[in-house]
Structure 1
Amino acid sequence: MSAPVMTRSTFVLPFSDEGCLDARAVGGKGKGLAEMTQAGLPVPPGFVVSANAYREFLAAGNLRERLTALVARVDLHDAASVERVSAELEDLLAAQPLPERLVSEIAAAYRTLCDQLGVPDLAVAVRSSATAEDSAADSFAGEFETWVDITGVHDVLAHVHRCYTSVFAGRVLHYALERGIDLAGVEMAVVVQKVVRARAAGVMFTLDPITGDRSRIVLESSWGLGLAVVGGEVTPDRFIVSKVGLGLQEKVLGAKRVEYRDGAGAVPVEEPRQREFCLRDEEVLALAALAKTVEKQQQAPQDIEFAVDEDLPDGQNLLLLQCRPETVWSSKQRAPKYEQGAGLMSWITGSISSAAATHSTSPSAVPGHSHEEAGHDHG
């Protein structure tokens, strides 16, 4: 029997849908996942709740004018004012229920994904994908929300709704006002994607993020989900691969003392594994080859998240979770200042990631939660 096929929806698009290639409809994250999926690259399956759904949500409560009026009251130079108005905005969005038609389509898409993978109440990541996110000029990556280990229709719907409220979170509001960005022009799409059971995960750049050298691919990785890498809780293993010929030039063992096995929180890494590289050489080279393919497809240096899925056999277990254009070296004419003693990870989290990820417990489903990074989030 063939797998069920998601029927055409007004608000929901599977990664395989051509409509998912429009960043205005699905945001930078959704578009990147769709492009990789449609190029035959290994991506965990999922779908996008489009920006059209967010517009429907706002229209159902006649919210746009009220949101605009509240934003106009913010005094950027008064932190208390930003937080106070942000709380009012979030409360306003939280009080507005999702329209019934949107609820029906998201529920149907989630059940279809569960059926396709043969897993009732499949654990998914619910990931914000704002239409303004990942643009070269005003990247909102790192400002919006992601949750992992969400199971069941009820909690998927609740966390899509929470992505909508994150549009006006205090840090987002401050970020936007500081840059003169009208948040009324930011619309929220939401990625719903199978959670990867990561043995190891991390990020890779198709140039050297310190020097801008485009002849290198640099990988940073640690045990478990990528949260420990993104949040700076570990010093990850580092691998440098030559782009021409894909030869492993250098590898440096990190200090990987904690890991995230699921959304419940960090756990200690046993001492023997702390002394092991979390990626085998052949996995490093295979990941670098995938990175090179993505860069060629996108025709620009890329910042790519990856994971090694422990549930899948070798040869099928290397998965790409996200790609976006590298923004630091792509937008600068000269090298920014860099302190040689600072270390690569502090450079990445300080210059490429806009904020350190946090990890907390969701009150509704006990999932993992983090603010997404300018360089990375997790799947």
Structure 2
Amino acid sequence: MTSTNCSVDAGIRYVLDLKEVKNTDRGTVGGKNASLGEILSLGLRAPSGFAVTVAAYDALLEFNNLKPQIQSIIDDMRSESSDSLECAATQIWELFEGARYPPPVERAIRSAYSTLASALQTPEPFVAVRSSATAEDSAEASFAGQQETYLCVHGVESVLLYIKKCYASLFSPRATAYREEKGYAHLEMRLSVGVMQMIQSLVSGVCFTLDPVNGKRDVIVTECCWGLGEMVVQGKVQPDRYVVEKATGRVLERHVAAKPMMMVRAGLADGIQSGAAAAVDALTREVPVPAERIQAPCLSDEQLQELVRMAIDIEKHYTIPMDIEWAIDEETHQLYVLQARPETVWSSRKAASRREVLVRGLGASPGRAYGKVRVLIDVQEIAEFQLGEVLVTTMTTPDWVPAMRRAAAIVTDSGGMTAHAAIVSRELGLPCVVGTGKATEILRSGQTGDCRWNAGCGATWHPRHRRRSGARDAIVAGRPHWGPCAHHGHSCVHEPGRTGKDSRAEAVALRRYWTNACRIYSSELGRPSSHVHY
């Protein structure tokens, strides 16, 4: 790698302690770091650490003359092609891999890590290395999962390596596709990186200060699991779910799920359950949850109420609904805020009419759309995905974003309303059903579908009709429904019946009343004559 002899302004700060930054410093340390600094300024408990500023990112690009090389790769890229996105990302990563830090930047990072080690009273503390882009976690776009986060990083040499990995992830296929979707210029996006104390989580989760499914602002909704929270975000377990009334603290809903797996630090897994551990990457492992915890609730009543109070305090400070990541430390049992960002997408969409139930799940994002089903199990298959199809898979990760951008709707076997598929679907405005358990088994590629919203319908599959050919067309759909629903679950896969005409009074009622579940349907009649209603 050829580097330039660029001058470095001695007045530029390449590293800032998180206690020094606030939400107004987004342009310097990115949205994630700025928000975490704001949380610390409120006196709430959050990890200690430092932010490698966007000035350090700019200096590395200049020192290694990377901007024109990256721009050339982007100019040759075709954003509609998954293969082209992947090829561009690989080339750009190779540029960052070979890049050298400007000496002042490297010195600043080494010094900051040493200071953090002294504060934590350990020579080489485990840290999380987290991307923090200048446009992320705003009220308009969350950029959820677009850039990388690396957990359980150990030692300053590893920190330097993973900071560069974060830089390169700014040009990953999913991040590039997302910027194309949102209209952001690729090289105008700048990246800060947060290096912060690694909380060894007993329990972790995601908390919303509204119901992200129906927009009700009088409740706190949280989902959580044992161990590191990536299992919730990635939808790898069905999380515990709690809904609490803000005004009274009354628990309105408490769902305790079976949680057979959890994610922990690799060294911990190797020391305790090396034979049973499944590799996620070099830093973390998925391991079986101890038998006595699988069906046990993650939170006690006291912990839940502390979480609710913390969430309300954060919302009051920001004056808008918030999406909060949190963890309870395994040793101290103290609650930490890991991230707080505005809840970016919620809108009332319309609902579904009664149909044959094929699959039930959680209606995680509202809307109605039409398309053919495409069942994909492996992210390597996304090149097969066509514009306007209904994506049916076990669960998405950020690597699925190029396909999600082209989807009419998304259906997953696992995950909750705070899983990656749910969050990104809400932001992209796509109807989404998660946690169906068996959609990839029941639905088949090539079935046609229409995705809509309806009032908490769902229960079981009720076959009504069979096509003479024995085939079944799938619909992710439903007309708005303002009265009590005949079912009592969440989101479903149905068979549409023959619907009568809507009266004017019903049409007015349908506009006035909306509710919060998605259905997937099978159709004997084929594509509805009208398939988009708002």
- Normalising to structure 2: TM-score of the pair? 0.61
Q: Partner of 1:62 in structure 2? A: 65
Alignment of 1:205-216 (within 5 A): 205-216=208-219
Distance 2:215 2:34 in 1: 25
Report SS of the residue matched to 1:125: strand
Tell me if structure 2 keeps the 8 A contact 1:224–1:259: yes
Q: Partner of 1:271 in structure 2? A: 291
**Residue 53 in 1 paired to residue 124 in 2?**
no
Distance 1:337 1:171, change over 3 A: farther
Alignment of 1:1-379 (within 5 A): 10-18=13-21, 21-262=24-265, 263-312=283-332, 314=333, 317-329=334-346, 332=347, 334-335=348-349, 341-343=360-362, 345-349=415-419, 350-353=421-424
Distance 2:97 2:172 in 1: 12
Distance 1:235 1:113, change over 3 A: same
Distance 1:289 1:65 in 2: 49
Distance 2:12 2:128 in 1: 21
Task: Report Cα offsets for 1:130-152 as digits up to 9, x if no partner.
Answer: 11211233432211101111111
Give the AA of the match of 2:423. Answer: I
Give the AA of the match of 2:306. Answer: A
Distance 1:311 1:154, change over 3 A: same
Gaps of 5+ in 2: 1-10, 266-282, 365-414, 428-534
Task: Report Cα offsets for 1:326-363 as digits up to 9, x if no partner.
Answer: 0122xx3x2476899322644433331469xxxxxxxx
- What is the deviation of 1:161? 1.1
Distance 1:178 1:242 in 2: 36
- What is the deviation of 1:90? 1.8
Distance 1:19 1:59, change over 3 A: farther
- What is the deviation of 1:76? 2.1
Gaps of 5+ in 1: 1-7, 356-379
Bigger mean CA offset, 131-140 vs 225-234 = 131-140
Task: Report Cα offsets for 1:39-60 as digits up to 9, x if no partner.
Answer: 1001011111011110111111
Tell me if structure 2 keeps the 8 A contact 1:199–1:309: yes
Report SS of the residue matched to 1:304: strand
Bigger mean CA offset, 202-211 vs 179-188 = 179-188
Report SS of the residue matched to 2:361: coil
- What is the deviation of 1:16? 1.1
Bigger mean CA offset, 172-181 vs 336-345 = 336-345
Tell me if structure 2 keeps the 8 A contact 1:127–1:192: yes
Distance 1:71 1:337, change over 3 A: farther
Distance 1:122 1:336 in 2: 50
Tell me if structure 2 keeps the 8 A contact 1:74–1:82: yes
Task: Report Cα offsets for 1:8-34 as digits up to 9, x if no partner.
Answer: 971111111146741111111001100
- Normalising to structure 1: TM-score of the pair? 0.85
- What is the deviation of 1:302? 0.4
- What is the deviation of 1:165? 1.1
Distance 2:307 2:175 in 1: 33
- What is the deviation of 1:228? 1.3
Q: Partner of 2:377 in structure 1? A: none
Tell me if structure 1 keeps the 8 A contact 2:142–2:341: no
Tell me if structure 2 keeps the 8 A contact 1:20–1:26: no
Give the AA of the match of 1:219. Answer: T
Distance 2:210 2:350 in 1: 15
Note the aligned Cα RMSD (angstroms).
2.1
